[in-house]
Structure 1
Amino acid sequence: MGLFEKLTSKAKQNRQRIVLPEGTEPRTLTAADRLIVEELADIILIGNPAEIKAAAAELGLTNISKAKIVNPADEKVLNKYAPIFYELRKSKGITMEDAYKTAANPLYLGCLMIKNDDADGQVAGALNTTGNVLRAAFQVIKTKPGIDVVSGAFVMLLPENSPFGTDGILVFADCAVLPDPTSKELAQIALSAADTARDIAGIEPKIAMLSFSTKGSAKHERIDKVIEATELVRKAAPSLVVDGELQADAALVPGVAKSKAPGSPVNGEANVLIFPSLETGNIAYKLVQRLASVQAVGPILQGLAAPVNDLSRGCFPEDIYKTVIITCNQAIGLKDID
């Protein structure tokens, strides 16, 4: 059974409530209809009910009526959620009037529903920028305890019989969000990627903190950052298998690890690669994806207290469908459901 088959099965067995705040967007509706038919999630659409129904009818979608539709202009809806946002942000100087205006924004409304335990996750970005999607999540849902940063991971599905990773699966992070993380932020990216490895990739993480040096083969402040981050990971999660600083070959090839990093707990069998900067992570995942015909699943946003995932504005319905499945599995992982 492939990765997505496993994720789909787990989502179906543990139905989660997923908000789609771009409720009238055609690709979103198409994906929602499929998710409803396959009983993979309880779908919540935000938007004007009449407009959603008209858009669904125009697309020939017959199952959208089974979704929960939340109208952001409904006074009862705003009366319920605006005070929650006010309490969250009053220390920042917002007024209750501001809170009502913000709660009427579908991106914020969806996050407020999650905050109030009326939903489990959100997927958006077909119409909205990444900045807008993340801003709502930061302000309302915030990050997990002990985590200050949100980062982006890719699950890399290598060809069959690949000697790398676990069953041909690798997790790359951060490839999408933080340009130049500090040592503390780099450690938090690693801790979040460990959760992604378990909840999405279905593997027990073996984490390599990557650099252009292995165990002191070079000296530079950028290497010092990786060494410090590795120690922070070990202190935060002593049971995690992690090592650094490691070059990529020492992380992935047991023979090289034996030579360059003897005694490494990773032992050349890393399945989670933590890159020292966004440029290295982004370049690496794209090179591997294109040159090695590897499927890259993501970006998966990690580090939030509840899952919110961002889409490309050029996405297809299939992308939204798969992102919802990923979001369901993140929500399941946060609840520790086996």
Structure 2
Amino acid sequence: MTFRARVHERARRAARRVVLPEGDDARVRAAADRLRSEGLAQVEVLGAVGDDPRLAVCIRHLRTRRPDKFPTDGAAREALRHPLTFGASLVGVGAADVMVGGAAHTSAELIRAALLAVGTAPGIATLSGAFYMVEGDRVLTFTDCSVVPEPTPEQLADIALAASRDRRRIVGDQPVVAFLSYSTKGSAAGPRVDRVRRAVELFRRLAPDVACDGELQSDAALAILQAEEPA
């Protein structure tokens, strides 16, 4: 069974409640139809928020989480007019398990809504993005390629920790982490190389059970990975 097939089977068993807030987009509606037809999730496609009966509990949720940003019901109500904020709030109050967005809005808008209504996972201080590149049954995780442009060593270590935890949960294997740089084991020097080396040291303290190496250029990291794969 391929990785994709395993993920689909897990999704069918879990039957999670997925909210798609960008219901005006034809691609989103098509995705919802496919999720339903393949039995992958319980799907709700949102349109205009209007007078949704769940609005009141979402207002209370936002005001409780961020009283500084939402001092009044009116301020929270105005924020919830944005479909991403409303969708994320449905996850925050337990009315949905997952929100998927970004088809018709920017990554910044999606991140802002998630931080307002849900926040980061316990033990994770740095919000980051991860891409799962799938070829047959081979899965590579790349992080962070979308959120933090100039991470500190502490942020790099935190990003690697989040990615390794998520990979265990999503892929189900034992992650091996490569910290990428333009240098491989001292082949070049500079502040950015020092930053990666420091991140490796920090990560080893945070996750001593996770194998890691660095600093490595991407071709070196992939060559090592390929050499370790069974023939």
Q: One fold, TM greater than 0.5?
A: yes
**Contact preservation (8 Å) 1:252, 1:269:** no
**Contact preservation (8 Å) 2:17, 2:42:** yes
**Contact preservation (8 Å) 1:251, 1:268:** no
Q: Does 2:33 correspond to 1:33?
A: yes
Runs of at least 5 residues in structure 1 that lack an aligned partner in the other structure: 49-71, 161-166, 255-265, 271-338
Superposed CA deviations along residues 81-135 of structure 1, whole A, max 9, x for unmatched, are 1111111111236322101222232211111111111111111122222221111
State the alpha-carbon separation in 2 of the partners of residues 44 and 226 from structure 1: 42
The answer for the alignment partner of 1:178 in structure 2 is: 148
Q: What is the deviation of 1:235?
A: 1.4
Q: What is the deviation of 1:168?
A: 3.2
Runs of at least 5 residues in structure 2 that lack an aligned partner in the other structure: none
How many residues align structurally? Answer: 229
- Equivalent position amino acid for 1:183 in 2: P
- Equivalent position amino acid for 2:44 in 1: I
Matched position secondary structure for 1:135 = helix
Counterparts in 2 of 1:181 and 1:76: CA distance versus 1, 3 Å: same
Superposed CA deviations along residues 162-193 of structure 1, whole A, max 9, x for unmatched, are xxxxx533222222222111111111221122
**Contact preservation (8 Å) 1:251, 1:269:** no
CA RMSD of aligned residues (A): 2.3
**Contact preservation (8 Å) 2:61, 2:89:** yes
The answer for the alignment partner of 1:78 in structure 2 is: 55
TM-score (norm 2): 0.88
- Equivalent position amino acid for 1:80 in 2: V
The answer for the alignment partner of 2:174 in structure 1 is: 204
State the alpha-carbon separation in 1 of the partners of residues 3 and 161 from structure 2: 22
Matched position secondary structure for 1:149 = coil
Q: Does 2:209 correspond to 1:239?
A: yes
TM-score (norm 1): 0.62
State the alpha-carbon separation in 2 of the partners of residues 100 and 22 from structure 1: 18
Higher relative contact order (CA 8 A, sep 6+): 1
Q: What is the deviation of 1:267?
A: 11
State the alpha-carbon separation in 2 of the partners of residues 183 and 120 from structure 1: 32
Which of 147, 163, 168 lines up with 2:138 in the alignment?
Answer: 168
Q: Percent identity?
A: 40
Q: Does 2:190 correspond to 1:213?
A: no
State the alpha-carbon separation in 1 of the partners of residues 26 and 215 from structure 2: 47
Counterparts in 2 of 1:89 and 1:37: CA distance versus 1, 3 Å: same
The answer for the alignment partner of 1:135 in structure 2 is: 112
